Structure 1
Amino acid sequence: MRHPPRSVLAAVAGAVALIGSVTVPVVTASGAAPACSVEYSVTSQWDSGFQGAVRITNNTAAMRSWSLAFDFAGGQKLTQGWNAKWSQSGTTVTAASESYNGSLATGASVSAGFIASWSGSNAVPTSFKLNGTSCNTAVEPSPTPEPTDPADDGPPVLRASGNKLVDAGGATRRLLGVNRSGGEFMCVQGRGIFDGPVDDASVKAIADWKANTVRIPLNEECWLGLSTIDPAYAGANYINAVKDLVAKVKAHGMTPVVELHWTYGQYTGNSAGCSDVHASCQKPMPDMQYTPSFWASVANTFKNDGTVVFDLFNEPYPDRATSTTTQAWQCWRDGGSCPGIGYEVAGMQDLVDSVRGTGATNLILAGGIAYSNDLSQWLTYRPADPAGNLAAAWHVYNFNTCANESCWNSTLVPVAAQVPLVAGEIGENTCAHGFIDQVMKWFDDRGLSYLGWTWNTWDCSSGPSLISSYDGTPTAFGTGLRDHLRALNG
């Protein structure tokens, strides 16, 4: 609920004793202020329940939406709330902004309330996170260090310069490589974190193809450690595994692209991949409940390493849910209550804001609609990026709508003339490489980037699979990409 019903408030006023405010104080250090502060108050309490409130103050850059997370420490159970979208998963409570109070300027505050049950103890939460950033803990102010290039044999720090990707020295760079699927589905299925080995030998095998980039799909519930995921594959265990793979990719001189693939939110409309509310399939758009927190956490993890690229969301398809293309693009950029989608959507602008709100300046990729195959209005609706480090992402397979040079010339050329263009996934389901040969030539002729899907040993007939063994033995499809990369970079 968005607000407490009058009957509940009347019962509280008439049957309980007001115990006063129990407030978590803001912890500060001399001359410093926390990134955010939260005052948590128990305003009234009775035998089996209590009423509480939070007051959030934002001390960093302005944000378009916010999500507060904290843990109940005494077995309390949330029953209802107001002035925020309240939810509880295990011990973790989340309060996400409403459409009317999501904008939070620097120095501004917002309040929200709730009712919860308790028994035994009503311990006060001790830590709070706003969009993934810890509150009430002051850190002496210091500028975010500018990412610097690693050793000469490592990957470069990339920036968008006009319509090119450039390194710290201004030299033009291209992202050419593969996807390494697994991190998006294994954890939510309770089968592990990655599909197949991610040891040094298996990563070296990718580098031996002369790839310079590896895209790593992720799952937001696993990263955030929600209670529905086996703890062995969630939270710190999942994050550390991703960080370890990123480190291995970098050690072999390749650029890691961390990408959000599967997200929360129930969608049962046109082209639904599943009816599950959990992050167990591709949803049409990311969700406001968890995705901004996911990206704030990922950005905080990698913001001091400019070699890591952020790909905001795998394959948006709001066009399958909405009735007009304009509605689809508006949903894509602005999120909110999108026609045909039953959960509140986080738009691309929300996600850019979540990343930049941490101080991260890493290169960001944003894919268009129609499963990232349609960039026809990307320039019109592109999100604002205060860091000026945004590129367009595009996916293409032989079975897509925009799978011919005529479409590429009409829709991709205008985009590539203004911003860097990265084909984050290219592939074909024929177990051959005739189609991607055409794609790679078209992109080579224009100095653009592309990544093959996928470095996994699946049956090629069930989907594009580049390898039959993690030692790098290619399928017929993979042979085309491997030989082409070696010819370019050998």
Structure 2
Amino acid sequence: MRHPPRSVLAAVAGAVALIGSVTVPVVTASGAAPACSVEYSVTSQWDSGFQGAVKITNNTAAMSSWSLAFDFAGGQKLTQGWNAKWSQSGTTVTAASESYNGSLATGASVSAGFIASWSGSNAVPTSFKLNGTSCNTAVEPSPTPEPTDPADDGAPVLRASGNKLVDAGGATRRLLGVNRSGGEFMCVQGRGIFDGPVDDASVKAIADWKANTVRIPLNEECWLGLSTIDPAYAGANYINAVKDLVAKVKAHGMTPVVELHWTYGQYTGNSAGCSDVHASCQKPMPDMQYTPSFWASVANTFKNDRTVVFDLFNEPYPDRATSTTTQAWQCWRDGGSCPGIGYEVAGMQDLVDSVRGTGATNLILAGGIAYSNDLSQWLTYRPADPAGNLAAAWHVYNFNTCANESCWNSTLAPVAAQVPLVAGEIGENTCAHGFIDQVMKWFDDRGLSYLGWTWNTWDCSSGPSLISSYDGTPTAFGTGLRDHLRALNG
């Protein structure tokens, strides 16, 4: 779903510590404290690249500027960085202070992050120098984190079995709930990470509607911590906020669906949402430059917790750019150079491969073309999934083309007969619920899944909004979904 207009605010520059989720511990020599210490961490890693961070602590006299140097030992190549002026010459990487974070008092710390490529080995650096002084550190590989035990909470591990979703015990399950928008746009607009509260009370309010699923839209540039995003809302800070919301959703027995909503790549063709190359609006297809890296990082983050579902891309619309429907579906699956799209596209097969390449076997959702409203050739072009855990995603609003039972019977029913079908977004812009009542009945009759858009306090006539308050007070539109979920699951 496209969103109500939002003002874009300038990002605020500032030094923010990026402490990685997998940190290589510092081991200092015995005796006197070192002149400086450096913690080097790999916050995420994928087949061809990784995101890293350094935390520098000054144990000597205060300094007005600093420069950290270390050597990559595995052929890694720096591609970009933030909170420092990053450069690489041969194997030597240098991170020099910015104007806003050069002052480093005795005992003070500063952090900076980067993205780099790697192949063969991603060996960690073994020595660091701050302003030419050795930091007397030694690093060891971090231990592999223990897998999360899904039995620790009430959220089920779901998998595709024929055309049904089933839990670990083989019981049929349906995803019935809401979308929690905000993570896709607040960070890129420099306004925060989520729109409204994401504390336990606000998540409990969703569960009180008897929802069992929450879909969480994300922004790839914010997750990857690219330099265009305010570091307060990017990289490890963003990732940790998403992980915290996922944990709260699970704590209330609900399934978290993490979904890629806004991506990189300039598109100014038919139905363009913006002319910005950055991830500030919905693009017709994901980009090859960053999206496979995003999904590899997300999959590595959650692969030990199979209760988390992956929704590959919000609403593909290559059909608005290409001249034929066949070209659109080929672009959807295979990516590459697609007619009418100026950047290299990552197809659904690329993204499935990125997820599975990490070893993650989590359930994957893949939406069709025409803003996920067209599944007419989904079965023909569905990507191959070595884990056999793939479901079709579909979106519908009262203003879509496929918004009547005749279309649903002809295009959705054949898909639902072969694979699980999840309506990741249902809604209407009338502030009423007559249309979604029809959708829910059609899906209920067939035991299928659906999620209402959206759990945000917007004007329900400009963008379908389920609530007027984060305590769960429904709009007239939201009343229809709330009462229906309570009748089903009460």
1:63 Cα deviation after fit: 46
Kept in 1, the 8 Å contact 2:11–2:189? The answer is no
1:53 Cα deviation after fit: 23
Kept in 2, the 8 Å contact 1:335–1:346? The answer is yes
Kept in 2, the 8 Å contact 1:48–1:119? The answer is yes
- What CA distance in whole angstroms lies between the structure 1 residues aligned with 2:487 and 2:114? 62
- What CA distance in whole angstroms lies between the structure 2 residues aligned with 1:319 and 1:473? 38
The alpha-carbon distance between structure 1 residues 410 and 68, as it changes in their structure 2 partners (threshold 3 A), is farther
1:103 Cα deviation after fit: 46
1:264 Cα deviation after fit: 0.1
Cα distance per residue 1:85-139 (max 9 Å; x no partner): 9999999999999999999999999999999999999999889999999999999
- What CA distance in whole angstroms lies between the structure 2 residues aligned with 1:471 and 1:88? 50
Cα distance per residue 1:391-411 (max 9 Å; x no partner): 000000000000000000000
- What CA distance in whole angstroms lies between the structure 1 residues aligned with 2:11 and 2:166? 64
Find the residue that maps to 2:216 and give its secondary structure. strand
Matching residue of 1:433: 433
Q: State which drifts further: 39-48 or 58-67.
A: 58-67
- What CA distance in whole angstroms lies between the structure 1 residues aligned with 2:319 and 2:98? 24
The alpha-carbon distance between structure 1 residues 139 and 54, as it changes in their structure 2 partners (threshold 3 A), is closer
Kept in 1, the 8 Å contact 2:17–2:55? The answer is no
Kept in 2, the 8 Å contact 1:68–1:130? The answer is yes
Kept in 1, the 8 Å contact 2:9–2:189? The answer is no
The alpha-carbon distance between structure 1 residues 60 and 479, as it changes in their structure 2 partners (threshold 3 A), is farther
Cα distance per residue 1:349-377 (max 9 Å; x no partner): 00000000000000000000000000000
- What CA distance in whole angstroms lies between the structure 2 residues aligned with 1:441 and 1:395? 15
- What CA distance in whole angstroms lies between the structure 1 residues aligned with 2:474 and 2:4? 60
- What CA distance in whole angstroms lies between the structure 2 residues aligned with 1:235 and 1:386? 30
**Gap runs ≥5 in structure 2:** none
The alpha-carbon distance between structure 1 residues 278 and 15, as it changes in their structure 2 partners (threshold 3 A), is closer
- What CA distance in whole angstroms lies between the structure 2 residues aligned with 1:46 and 1:209? 38
- What CA distance in whole angstroms lies between the structure 1 residues aligned with 2:476 and 2:2? 55
Kept in 2, the 8 Å contact 1:163–1:416? The answer is yes
1:24 Cα deviation after fit: 18
Find the residue that maps to 1:483 and give its secondary structure. helix
- What is the TM-score of this pair, normalised by structure 2? 0.73
Find the residue that maps to 1:354 and give its secondary structure. helix
1:151 Cα deviation after fit: 3.6
The alpha-carbon distance between structure 1 residues 28 and 326, as it changes in their structure 2 partners (threshold 3 A), is farther
Find the residue that maps to 1:12 and give its secondary structure. coil
1:482 Cα deviation after fit: 0.1
Could you tell me the percent identity over the aligned residues? 99
Kept in 1, the 8 Å contact 2:423–2:451? The answer is yes
Find the residue that maps to 2:26 and give its secondary structure. coil
- What CA distance in whole angstroms lies between the structure 2 residues aligned with 1:431 and 1:257? 26
Q: State which drifts further: 122-131 or 159-168.
A: 122-131
- What is the TM-score of this pair, normalised by structure 1? 0.73
Kept in 2, the 8 Å contact 1:223–1:238? The answer is yes
- What CA distance in whole angstroms lies between the structure 1 residues aligned with 2:51 and 2:200? 53
Find the residue that maps to 2:11 and give its secondary structure. helix
Q: State which drifts further: 102-111 or 256-265.
A: 102-111
- What CA distance in whole angstroms lies between the structure 1 residues aligned with 2:432 and 2:115? 59
The alpha-carbon distance between structure 1 residues 286 and 109, as it changes in their structure 2 partners (threshold 3 A), is farther
Q: State which drifts further: 372-381 or 113-122.
A: 113-122
Find the residue that maps to 1:11 and give its secondary structure. coil
**Gap runs ≥5 in structure 1:** none
1:300 Cα deviation after fit: 0.2
Instruction: Kindly report the root-mean-square deviation, in angstroms, between the aligned alpha carbons of the 2 structures.
Output: 14.1
Matching residue of 2:183: 183
The alpha-carbon distance between structure 1 residues 82 and 481, as it changes in their structure 2 partners (threshold 3 A), is closer
Find the residue that maps to 1:429 and give its secondary structure. coil
The alpha-carbon distance between structure 1 residues 104 and 427, as it changes in their structure 2 partners (threshold 3 A), is farther
- What CA distance in whole angstroms lies between the structure 2 residues aligned with 1:72 and 1:127? 10
Q: State which drifts further: 114-123 or 250-259.
A: 114-123
The alpha-carbon distance between structure 1 residues 39 and 248, as it changes in their structure 2 partners (threshold 3 A), is closer
1:459 Cα deviation after fit: 1.0
1:460 Cα deviation after fit: 1.1
Cα distance per residue 1:139-184 (max 9 Å; x no partner): 9999999978634861100000000000000000000000000000
1:293 Cα deviation after fit: 0.3
- What CA distance in whole angstroms lies between the structure 2 residues aligned with 1:391 and 1:331? 19
1:197 Cα deviation after fit: 0.2
Cα distance per residue 1:315-362 (max 9 Å; x no partner): 000000000000000000000000000000000000000000000000
Cα distance per residue 1:272-300 (max 9 Å; x no partner): 00000000000000000000000000000
Kept in 2, the 8 Å contact 1:61–1:357? The answer is no
Kept in 1, the 8 Å contact 2:19–2:41? The answer is no
Kept in 1, the 8 Å contact 2:126–2:139? The answer is no
Kept in 1, the 8 Å contact 2:154–2:253? The answer is yes
1:462 Cα deviation after fit: 1.0
- What CA distance in whole angstroms lies between the structure 2 residues aligned with 1:355 and 1:426? 26
The alpha-carbon distance between structure 1 residues 69 and 160, as it changes in their structure 2 partners (threshold 3 A), is farther
The alpha-carbon distance between structure 1 residues 468 and 138, as it changes in their structure 2 partners (threshold 3 A), is same
